[in-house]
Amino acid sequence: MNKIPALPQNIVKSLINFLYQEAKNRGFNRVVLGVSGGIDSAVVAVLCKMTFGNHLQALLMPSITSSKSSLTDGIALCEQFEIPYQVQSINQYDEAFRMNHKDADLIRKGNFCTRIRMSLLYDLSQEIRALVVGTSNKSELMLGYGTIHGDLACAINPIGNFFKTQVYELAKLLNIPKNIIDKKPSADLYAGQSDEEELGYKYSDVDQLLFDICKIYDDFSKIDIKKLIPLGYNKEMLNSIVPRIKKNLFKRNLPITYKLD
């Protein structure tokens, strides 16, 4: 196993520079992002505040099944760091979908709400001429914890190459509130949803595997479980995580188009 390295000492400064330059390169000096009350959006929101000051707008969009702490923690974060924010409930959209799709399972309902949130973010970005900033971390992206045209949609993403455990490091550097750091990781797609319970493993264990995979493979479609076993990983874990990575690779690719000769 290759140990995940500690973050560089100047990582916060580098991320601020990244956000500023990438926004400037696209002709923007203002950004918008969704704040969920979770650690990823908290880290990105604070980084954006440090980069853009008040040229930032956070949008909190609770649904019918959102936990109460999602909203209260999100508001508390914005107020503590003086981040401009709006609260826009998506209950009416959630209710309409449930009414018209009574047979929809929890994943469909959650994905619909995620896409509604991103629609509202892009509408706000158009209204105030701002760039949408993403909040998905590398662990989520590799495992497929993301919705196409939902939370995966963005113009720039400062934490897309940080494993979940590294996001926790960032959170501590940025003095993110302890209650946000300590809460169970969740996409909040439905009531009681927990990433680690669904995975069956803690992010600290999964991230180590994901890190080794990244060190060995450029093409994740070619991951060979047999080559990972000698590194000391449990075969049951490999049989669970590796197929998941391969199955969700399509989410990270641009749409394939026909090539006209």
Place of tokens 């209950």: 91
Could you give the domains of the chain? 11-184 (3.40.50.620), 200-252 (no CATH)
Please compute, for residue 197, the number of CA atoms within 13 A of its CA located in the half-sphere on the CB side.
8
pLDDT in tens, the chain (261 residues): 778 989 999 999 999 999 999 999 999 999 999 999 999 999 999 999 999 999 999 999 999 988 888 999 999 999 999 999 999 999 999 999 999 999 999 999 999 999 999 999 999 999 999 999 999 999 999 999 999 999 999 999 999 999 999 999 999 999 999 999 998 877 666 666 677 888 888 998 999 999 999 999 999 999 999 999 999 999 999 999 999 999 999 998 888 899 998
Return the pLDDT at 198. Answer: 82
Structural contact between residues 235 and 225, judged by C-beta atoms closer than 8 angstroms = yes
Give exposure, 191-218, as e/b (b: 16+ Cβ within 10 Å). eebebbeebebebebbbbbbbbbbeeee
**Residue 141 neighbours by CB under 8 Å, 6+ apart:** 152, 160, 251, 252
Q: Is the torsion defined by CA of 113, 199, 217, 212 positive or negative?
A: positive
* pLDDT at site 38: 94
